Structure 1
Amino acid sequence: MNEYSEEQWVWSKVSQEPLKIIEINKQWNVTSYKLWSQSQNKSVIHSSNQIDTLANAKYNLEFLIYTIATARINQAYTTESIISPLEGNLIPLPHQLTALKKITQNPNQIRFLLADEVGLGKTIEAGLVLKEMKIRDKIKRILILAPRGLVYQWILEMKDRFNEDFQLIEPNDYAIFEENYWQRFDQVIATVDSVKPLSSRKGWSESKIESYNEKRYNNLLLAGWDLVIIDESHKLGGTSSSVARFRLGKGLAESTPNILLLSATPHQGNRKQFHRLISLLDPKAFPNPNCVSKETVEPYIVRTEKRNAIDSSGDLLFTKRTTLLKNIDWQKKHEIQKDLYERITDYALNGYNQAKKENRQHLAFLMILMQRLVSSSTRAIKSALEKRLYVLESDKVQTDTELEEDWNEKDGQMQLDEIFEKILNPLNNEKETVEELLSLTRKCESIGPDVKTEYLLNLLVQIQSDESSKTKFLIFTEFTSTQKMLQEFLISRGFEAEILHGSMNMQQRAKAQENFSRKSQILISTEAGGEGLNLQFCHIVINYDLPWNPMRIEQRIGRVDRIGQKLPVKAFNLALTETVESRVLQVLESKLDVILSDLGVDKLTDVLDSSDTELNFNKLYIESLDEPEQIESKVDIFLSSVKNKINREQNYREIISQDKNLDVEIAKTVNEHPLPLWIESMVLNYLKSNNGSIIEKNRGFDIVWPDGETSLSISFEKKESENKNLKFLSLEDEHVRKISKYISTFVKGQKIPMLKIKNLSKDISGIFSLWQVGISENKKMVVFPMFIHDDGRKLKPTASHIWDLILSKKTPIQLEHSFDENFVEIFNKNFELSSSEGKIIFENIQEEHKKNLKNEQEKMRIFFEYQEKLIAKIGLENVRKKRQNNLEREKRRFVTNMDKLDDIFPEFNAIIMLKIEGMLG
C-alpha cells in the first residue's frame, strides 16, 4: 500500500488525471483523500483504491485522444479570426461571412448598418455578429427591436440558427414587472412602437405621459445594453428629428456601445432622413447631411446586392422567377356575384367621397377596405357588412381621428380589425344600404363557391398534374374570412390545408409551419401571418387576392424566393376580369416594368419600402374606380412620382453601394474547417472511454451518453445533416459543449505514454506536448503544441502535423506502455523549451487584456455620463434620487472590479505530454 502526503500529486484511476491531495482523512481504519482537480476546478473525494502514484499512471488510448481533441477545439476558439460560423447547423454564404469579418475587425466597438438587399439574410448576419461577440465575452446584455410582424421570426431564427433564447416583452408586461423589468432578462426582444417615447396624447396629462415614458422608454435606456439590434431601421429616420422613432433610436445609440441597424432600403431617396439614420452610428462623423458621401459612409455599412450574391461554389445565388397574371372571367352562374361586386363598388366609392369631404379618415379607409373585401371573397365582404351593421344599429358614437403613424405598415386584416374597434358614425342612408348588400351576399353564397374559388381548385389540380402530387402551395389572402373559407373549401375537396395569420402566437405559427413542411400540401396565409416566413421548400405562390400596393405582392413571393430555394419560383396572381382593379393592375405592372428596366432595377421592393406613404396606391385605385375611362392617364401621373422617387433613391443607392467582389475562398475556409472532424473525434473517444455507446447506421449515428440520455439520428457533418434530415451535432449541443470544456493537466513526475503513429515518418521521434497559457482573472487561455525531437530540435510545424494526425480518422495509432525514462527530467526540459513560446503568447494576451480594460473603462464612462443626464431629467424627486443612489453604487462596484482585473499574473500548464514514434518508411 502506497503512503501519500498532503500537497502530493497522485494519479486518479477514476478520472484518468493527476490530482493534488489537499486533505487526508482517517476514520475507523478507513482512509479517504480530498483532492483538487485542476481540470475540473473543484475538489473530489477518493478512496485509497482509486488513486496511485504518478509513475504508475495507466492510460486509455481513447481518453488520450479525447483530451487531445478538446485541446484542439479550445485552441481554435482562441486563434481563429471568426468563430461563430463554426458553431450550429448554419452554412454561411460568402456575403454573410464577408459582412461578419468586416464588422468584427474591431470587436471592442461595433456600430454598423447592415443594408443587404431583401432576401439576403440580414438576420443571419446579425446573429453571426451577436454570436461572435458572445463567444469572445464582449457582450452579455442584448436588445432586439423589430416590427410587430417580425418579432416571432427573430425569436425562432435566434433559437434555431444560433441556439440563443430571447425573452419577448410586450406592452401588457410593463405593468406586471416591478422596478426596471428590462433588467430581468439579458436577452430581450420587443416591438419598436411599444417602446418609443410619447410627446403628447389626447386627454393625457404631463404626469401621465412621464409615467408612461418612465416605464417604457427611460427604463429601456437605463437598462445597460451591450448590443442593440434594430430591424427595419430606416423607419427611425422619420420625417424630422422630433419624431418618436428617431428619438428612440437616438437614445439607444447614445446609451449603447454596440449597435446594428438593419435595413434593405436605408435611404428612401430622402437626404435628411438618411443622414439622421447614419448619424446614429457616429454623430461626429456625420454632423450634417453634407458630410454624407460614399467615402464617409463606407466604414459604417455592409451591403450586398442580389445580382452580386453567390453561393459557396461561386454560382449566382438567385435564379429568375416567373410571375403570371391569371384573369378570371365571370361565368353566367356567377352573375349575382358580379352584381354584388358592382353594388359594393358604388357603396364604397360614394362612402369614400363623403368621408373625405368630412375629413373622416378611418371611415374613408373602411370604404377602401370594403372594395378590397369584395374582390377577395363573398365570405369576406359578408363578414365585414355584418360587423358594420352591428355598429350602425348601436347607440354609441365616436369621433373619427387621424390615422396612426404606422397605419400603412399594417396589412388589410389588421386595419379592418382596428377600424371595427371604433364606433364610426354612419354615412347618409348607410344602414339601409348595408342591409340590402347583406341580403345580396347571402343569396350569392347560397348559389355556390365564388368564381375565383372554383378557378383556384382547377389551377391546383393542373399544377399537380404538370409537376407532382406532392407539390406544395403557399396561398396568400388579405383577410381571415377568406382564409377560413378557402381552408374549408379545400379540405372538403381532399386537400390538407394549414392557415397562418397575424393573431397567432409563436407556438401556433411554428406548428402551422411544421405541419406545412411535413404533411400539408397547402398553407393559406395573410400578409401579417407571412411576415418573416422562410419557406424555401415550397416554390409555388398563389395570390388569391391582390393588394393594391404591388410591393406587398413582391413581399409575398419573397417568402419562397429566398436563399436555399432549389426550384424556379412560380407566382400566380388571380384577378377578376371586367373590374377596374384588374385593369389598373395590368396597366400599372406593364408600365412599371419598363421604368424599372430602364433604371436597372429588378423589383420595386429592392429600392423602396412597401409602407412608403408617399406612394399612395389607394388614391390611384379609388380615383380609377371613380373615373375608369381615365385609368391610363392616372397611372401615368402616379408612375411619374414613382420614377422621381426611384431617381432620388438611386443617388443614395450609389452612396451605399460597395465595390467588392465576394470571395468564395472565405466560405470554403469556414465550410471546410476541420472543427466538425475534431468534434466527432472528441465525442466518439469520450463515449468509448466513459461507458457511453455509439451505433453507426446507414443514416447517421445513435448515441447513448454516460448519463443515459440519447441523441438519435445525428451527424457530425453539416451538409450530410441537411441532405439526409439528420440532427447536426455541434458545440451547440449541451452534452458536446460540456465535454469540450475539459482541459486535462499534466504534472511533473507523471508517467509519459508513448504513441506509435503509422502515417508518420520513422525519422520523427521525440516528445509531443500541449500547453495552456493565460492570465489570472481572464477566461482566455491559449493552447499551443510543441514537439522536441530526440536530437533536441524544436519543430513547431511538426507539432501541428502530429496534432492533426492523432485526430484523423484515417490514422492508425498504437498506445505503448514500455517507454521507461526519467519522467521528471523530460518534463523539466520540455517545460523550459516551451516556456519561451508561452512567454510570447502571455505578453500578447497581457497587452490585449490591458486594451480591453481601457476600452471597458471608456465605454462605462460614456454610459455613466449618459445615465446621469437621463436620470437628471426625471421629474419625480423620489424616483430621481433612488436612481442616482443606484447609479453611484454601480459606479463603485465597477471601479472595484476594474482594480481586481488590473492585478494579473501568468498561468502556464502542461495539458499532455507524449513520446511519439513514427512508423512510416
Structure 2
Amino acid sequence: MLTPYQAQYYALQLSRRTPANSLEKFAATLVDAQVDLNPHQVEAALFAFRSPLSRGAMLADEVGLGKTIEAGLVISQKWAEQKRRMLIIAPSSLRKQWSQELADKFFLPSVVIEKKLFDQEIKKGNHNPFHQDGKIVICSYHFARSKEDHLSQTQWDLAILDEAHKLRNVYRSDNQIGTSVRASLRNVPKILLTATPLQNSLLELYGMVSIIDEQIFGDLASFRDRYGRLDDAAFAELQQRLRPVCKRTLRRDVLEYIKYTHRKPLLQTYEPYPDEQELYDLVSDYLQSENLYALPASQRSLMTLILRKLLASSSYAISGTLTRLTKKMELMLQFGGVASTNELADDYEALEDTAEEWGGEDVGPSSQFNELEAEQIRAEHHFLQRAENLALSIQRNAKGEALLKALETGFAAMAEQGANRKAIIFTESRRTQEYLQDLLQNNGYSDEVVIFNGDNNTPAAKKIYQDYLAKHRGTDRISGATSADQRAALVDHFRDTASIMVATEAAAEGINLQFCSLLVNYDLPWNPQRIEQRIGRCHRYGQKHDVVVVNFLNENNAADRRVFELLNSKFHLFSGVFGASDEVLGSIESGVDIEKRIAAIYQTCRTEEEIQAAFDTLQQEMEVQIASQINKTKQQLLDHFDAEVHEKLRISLDESRTYLNTWQNWLWQLTRFALADCATFADGGAYEFSLLRNPFHGQDIPTGRYCLGQGNSSAYQYRIGHPLAQALIGLAAAYEGHPTPDGAVHPVTLKFDYTKVPQKVSILEPLIGQAGILQLSRLSIHSFEREDYLRLFAVTDQGVILTQEQCERLFSLPAVIDEDFLARPQVQGKTLEQGFRTWKSDLLDENLARNGTFFDEEMTKLEHWADDQKNALELHLRNVEQEIKARRTTARKLVVLQEKLDEQRAIKKLETERNQLRARLFQAQDEIDERKEELLSTVEERMQQGVEEETVFLVGWELH
C-alpha cells in the first residue's frame, strides 16, 4: 500500500547529494558495501574530504583497524558521484588484494596495470594505458615511477597511496620513488594510508604531508628551524597544523566495537637426515663460489636467495631446479648464450614479485666463452649433476615428517578451543606443495587436502571450479573473472569440505580465511612483511578463535636459528593480540632490506662464529630502529588529536546506524512498490525477492533471487548501485503526478491508514480523523559542491502545522490515492510557503557558515605556509650575514695581500647574495599576496550560491 508519491520521495532521497562533512554522505555507500559498520571507519572516510577545498588526507589508524575499508568507502562515494578516474598505488604484493577487495566488498571494477598489460595497450593504440574507462587503476610504486610521464598526463579524480610510509623519506633528494610519485600526482586529491607516518624523524612526517599538499608546510629548512627543537609552543602549533590533514584512531578506542583474538606460537624442531644435510652443505658451498655460470650475473643475489629458499624447503623443491640448471648448462656448452631466471619460475612462484622488489644488479653477462671459461662451465655442470643425483635419491624429508606431528598437535589445540579442524600450510615452492599433498594424503588426510597456487589448473582444482560455477550460476558470486572465481571456489571448498589447504604465496594476499585458525609456515620467508601478510589471512577482524602459528626450525643450522630468533623476538610476529605492529614493521625501510641482509649472511659467512657475529650486528641495528625514541613524540603528536574520541565514535555509530536503516528501508519500500507485478517477495521480514522478468527492456538485468544487504551468498546482492535499483530509482524520481485523460496533472488526496501500523505512533494519534494539504519541496544549493535537500510540509484544515517528524511518519504509513481533492483555503497554501521560506533561509545560512569554516581553514593553512616561506628566506639571510661577519674578521687577520684580496672577493660575493635575498624577501611577499588573491578569487567564485527550488508535488491528505 505505497503510492507513487511516496515512491518518488524515497527515490529522491536515495539519489540526492549531501554536504561534504555529513555522515549521511556515506549512507548509500554503506548500503551498497559488503562491510560491517564500524564507526571509526566511517569517521575516517568522512574526514578524508570533509572540506571541498581539501587536497586529501593521511589516514593513519593503528594496524588492523581497516584502512583499506576506509579508503574503499571514499572510492565508492567518488564512484557514485561519477568521478571514476581513480588510481591506487600499492606495494606489488598487495595489488591483487586491492582488486579483490574492491570487487568483493564494494562491487567496483578494477585493473592491475603492469608492464605486460601496459605494452599490450600501447600496441592496441591506447597511447596512455592509465586511461581505463570504467575501471579503477592499480599499480605498484616501482611501476608508477617508471611510467611517471604517463601517470602525470592523467586527470585523476582521486589517488590512494597504500603503505605510504614507504614514501616517508621523500624529503631526501635521493628518494627517487617518493619524488616521482609526488611530482606526477602534484595536483591530484590523495589519500595516504599508513599506520606509521612517523618513525625516526619529524622530517618523515614533513615529507609525507608534502605529498598531500605542498602548501601545508614551507620548505625543509624552515620546517627544521621551526620544529627542530620541539618545545611546548612549537609542539602545540605543529599538532594544530596536522589536525586537518591527519586522522589516527587507536585500537583502544574501538575495542568496544572490534574484538581481536590472540596468536599462539608453536615451534616444531627437526634434524635433517644425513643425506639431506649432505645435500644442504653441497649446494650451500656451490652458492658461495666466486664465479657461477648457471646463474645470470645481473640477478646473482636474487637467484642465490631463491635457491637457498628452495634448498631449505625440501629436497624435491631443489631437485627440480638443479635438473633445470643442469640442462641449461648443457645448452650453454652446445650453443653459447647466458643463464636467465626463467629456470626458477615454475619452482618458485613468487619470482616475479621478488625480482621487482629486489631490482637488477646491472651487471651485463657475456654470451661468448673462451676455452678456460668453457672448462669451468663443464666443471660446474658436473658439480650440478652430482647435486641433482643426490637430491633425486633422497626418499625421506625430516621436515615433512615433523609436519605430521605439528598438525596432530595443532588440530588438538583447535579442538580444545572449539575451532574448525582447518589448517593452511604455506610453502614457497610448487614442488614442495606437490610433495606435501602426497605426504598428507598417504598419512591419514586422504581427500582432505586442497591445493592453492598461482595457476590453480590441476584436474582437482578445475573440478572444484566447475562445481562452484554450477552451484552459484545466476548469482553475484560469479564475477566473470576466471582467476578470481577460481580462487573463490578453492576457498569455499576449503571452508566447506577440505581440512587442509597447501598454498604458495598466491594465497598470502587477497583471500579471507578467518574460518581457519591453524597456520603453518612450512617455509618461513625472511621478509617479515610477507610473514605478517600470511598470518593476516587468518588472524583478522572476524576471527573467532585464537590463531595457532606453527614454525619449523632446523636444529642443525645456526643461521636458521638466528633468523627465527630475529623474526620472533624482535618483530613479534607470532604471538600477542596484534602480532607484528606496524610500528615495528614500519621501522624498517622495507622487508626486502631485511631479506637482503639475511641472504648476504648466508652467502658470506662460513663458520658458526661468523654467522653469530653477523646476526648480532643485524639484530643490534634492528633494535635501534625498532626502539626509536621518536615513538614517544609520535604518540603525543598523533595519537591524541581528540580527547573525546570514544564518545564521538559512539555518537557516530548511532547516527550511521540510523542513516543505514533509513536508506535501506527506503530502497526496500521503493523496490516492493515498483516490482509488484514482476517479482515475488519473501515473507517474514527477509529482504529477499525473486525477479520473474526484467521490467527494463534494453538493460542487462538478470532474473533470479536477490538479497538486500549482507547474508545470502546464493543470490544477487541487491543494492543502491545495482543496475536494477538505479533503474527503479530513476523511474520513480521522474514521476510527474496523477494524470487526467487530457494529460494534465490531477490533484489527489492521499488517504493514510493508521490501522495498518503494527506499533503505536504517539505523535500521529492526535491527527487521526483529520485532513489537510501536504507538500514536498526540493532545494539545491550550488557553491563549493552541489547539495540537495528535501522537506515535507503539511498543515491541517484547521491551520495546525505538522512538525517535520509528524510529516515523515505520516508519509511512511500505508496509503491509497483518492482522486477527489478538496480545495483548501488560500491561507493554508501561504502557511506552507512561509514554512518553506524559513527552511530555505536556514539552509542557506548553514551552507554559508559551513563554507566559511572551510575558507578559514584554507586561509589559516596559507598564512602558515606564507610564514614558513618568509622564515626560510630570513633564516638563509641570517646565515649569510653571519658568514660575512666571520669572513671580515678573518680578512683583517690575514697578512698576505693576495689572501686578503681572495677573502674580500668571497665577502663581496656573499654580500651580493645577501642583497639578492633581501630583494627575494620582498618578491616572496608579492608571490604570497598573489597566492592569497588567487585563493580568494577561487573561493569567491565557488561560494556564489546558486539556488534551485521546486515544489515536487502538492497533495491533500487524510489520516484514518
Query: TM-score if structure 2 supplies the norm length?
Result: 0.70
**1:791 maps to 2:798:** yes
Q: Which residue of 2 aligns with 1:126?
A: 71
Q: Distance in 1 between matches of 2:190 and 2:512?
A: 25
**CA 656–486 in structure 1, closer or farther in 2 if over 3 Å, else same:** farther
Secondary structure, counterpart of 2:312 in structure 1? helix
Distance change (3 Å), C-alpha of 1:315 and 1:701: closer
Show CA shifts across 1:7-34 (max 9, x none). xxxxxxxxxxxxxxxxxxxxxxxxxxxx
| Contact kept in structure 2, 1:409 and 1:611, CA below 8 Å | no
The within-5 A match list for 1:237-316 is: 237=168, 240-256=172-188, 258-269=189-200, 272-286=203-217, 287-288=219-220, 289-290=223-224, 293-310=238-255, 314-316=256-258
- Displacement after TM superposition at 1:913 (Å): 2.2
Structure 1 contact 554–605 (Cα < 8 Å) conserved: no
In the alignment, is residue 328 of structure 1 matched against residue 266 of structure 2?
no
Does the 8 Å CA contact 1:115/1:302 hold for their aligned counterparts? yes
Secondary structure of the equivalent of 1:556?
helix
Residue type at the aligned position of 1:507: T
Q: Flag structure 1 segments of 5+ consecutive residues without an equivalent.
A: 1-59, 199-215, 402-407, 859-894
Q: Is 1:430 the counterpart of 2:380 in the alignment?
A: yes
Contact 1:776–1:904 under 8 Å retained in 2: yes
Matched, 1:552 2:530: yes
Letter in 2 for 1:664: R
Give the equivalent residue in structure 1 for 2:765.
Answer: 761
Q: Which amino acid aligns with 1:250?
A: R
Is the Cα contact below 8 Å between 1:145 and 1:229 reproduced in 2? yes
String of CA shifts for 1:471-491, please: whole Å, max 9, x gaps.
332221122332343345445
1:159 to partner: Cα distance: 2.4
Tell me which of 134, 137, 156 is aligned to 1:189.
Answer: 137
2:952 maps to 1:910: yes
CA contact (8 A) 1:149 1:532 kept: no
Change (3 A) 1:726 1:570: farther
2:97 to 140, 148, 153: 153
Q: 1:108-507 counterparts in 2 under 5 A?
A: 108-135=53-80, 139-172=83-116, 173-174=118-119, 175-176=122-123, 177-185=125-133, 187-193=135-141, 195-197=143-145, 216-237=147-168, 240-256=172-188, 258-269=189-200, 272-286=203-217, 287-288=219-220, 289-290=223-224, 293-310=238-255, 314-330=256-272, 334-348=273-287, 350-351=288-289, 362-393=299-330, 394-395=332-333, 396=336, 429-444=379-394, 447-448=395-396, 450-460=397-407, 463-464=410-411, 467=415, 471-490=421-440, 493-501=446-454, 507=482
Structure 1 residues 411 and 567, CA gap change in structure 2 (3 angstroms): farther
Structure 1 position 788, deviation (Å): 0.9
Superposed displacement of residue 327, structure 1:
0.9
**In structure 2, which of residues 690, 693, 701 is the aligned counterpart of residue 703 of structure 1?**
690
Shift, 1:218, TM fit: 2.0
Q: 1:641: which partner in 2?
A: 621
CA apart distance, 1:251: 1.6
Q: Structure 1 residue 91 and structure 2 residue 4: aligned?
A: no
CA, structure 1 residues 852+127, in 2 after alignment: closer, same or farther (shift >3 Å)? farther
In 1, Cα distance between the equivalents of 2:596 and 2:68? 29
Q: Is the 8 A contact 1:749 1:827 kept in 2?
A: no
1:657 to 632, 639, 643: 639
Amino acid at match of 1:757: Y
Rate the CA distance shift 1:534–1:80 in 2: closer, same or farther, 3 A.
same
Partners of 1:588 and 1:159 in 2: CA distance: 37
Between stretches 101-110 and 172-181, larger displacement belongs to 172-181
| 3-state SS, counterpart of residue 572 of structure 1 | strand
**SS of structure 2 residue aligned to 1:909:** strand
SS at match of 2:553: strand
Q: Structure 2 CA distance, aligned partners of 1:398 and 1:840?
A: 78
For 1:298 and 1:128, locate their aligned partners in 2 and report how far apart those are by CA, in whole Å.
Answer: 21
Matched-pair contact (CA < 8 Å) for 1:750–1:824: no
Greater mean alpha carbon deviation, residues 269-278 or residues 413-422: 413-422
Between the aligned partners of 2:692 and 2:151, the Cα distance in structure 1 is 43
Bigger shift: 433-442 or 189-198? 189-198
Against the structure 1 CA distance between its residues 75 and 241, is the aligned structure 2 distance closer, same or farther, given a 3 Å change threshold? same
After alignment, is 489-498 or 821-830 more displaced? 821-830
Distance in 1 separating the partners of 2:809 and 2:688: 23
Do residues 670 (structure 1) and 656 (structure 2) align?
yes
* Cα separation, partners in 2 of 1:784 and 1:542, compared to 1, 3 Å: same
Residue 567 (1) aligns with residue 549 (2): no
The one-letter amino acid paired with 1:739 is L
Please identify, of 536-545 and 610-619, the stretch whose mean Cα deviation from structure 2 is larger: 610-619
Change (3 A) 1:231 1:602: closer
TM-score by length of 1: 0.73
Matches of residues 729-808 of structure 1 in structure 2 within 5 Å? 729-741=718-730, 742-743=732-733, 744-746=735-737, 750-758=747-755, 759=761, 760-763=764-767, 765=770, 766-774=772-780, 780-795=787-802, 798-804=803-809, 806-807=811-812
**Kept in 2: contact 1:452–1:574 (CA 8 A):** yes
**Alpha-carbon distance between aligned partners in 2 of 1:645 and 1:127, rounded to the nearest angstrom:** 32
Check 1:474–1:733 CA distance in 2 against 1; reply closer, same or farther (3 A cut): same
| Structure 1 residues 498 and 242: CA distance shift in structure 2, 3 A | same
Equivalent AA in structure 1 for residue 266 of structure 2: L
Do the aligned residues in 1 keep the contact of 2:166 with 2:589 (CA within 8 Å)? no
The CA deviation at 1:381 is: 0.9
Seen in structure 2, the aligned counterparts of structure 1 residues 751 and 498 have a Cα distance that, compared at 3 Å, is same
Give the aligned residue type for 1:157: E
Indicate conservation of the 8 Å contact 1:119/1:558, yes or no. Answer: no
Q: Is the 8 A contact 2:92 2:139 kept in 1?
A: yes
The Cα of 1:437 is off from its aligned counterpart by: 0.7
Shift of 1:414: 7.7
Alignment pair present for 1:682 and 2:683: no
1:644 maps to amino acid: V
Task: Determine the structure 2 residue equivalent to 1:578.
Answer: 556
Q: How far 1:799 moved relative to its partner?
A: 3.6
The structure-2 alpha-carbon separation of the partners of 1:222 and 1:818, relative to structure 1 and needing over 3 Å to count, comes to: closer
Secondary structure at the counterpart of residue 782 of structure 1: strand
Aligned-pair CA distance for 1:908: 1.1
- Native 8 Å contact 2:423 2:519 kept in 1: yes
TM-fit CA distance, 1:572: 0.7
Q: Does structure 1 retain, via aligned residues, the 8 Å contact 2:519–2:535?
A: yes
Say if 1:355 and 1:361, in contact at 8 Å, map to a contact too.
no
- What is the distance in 1 between the residues matched to 2:640 and 2:302? 41
Q: Is the 8 A contact 1:750 1:823 kept in 2?
A: no
Change in CA separation of 1:682 and 1:506 when aligned onto 2, cut-off 3 Å: closer
Aligned to 1:881: none
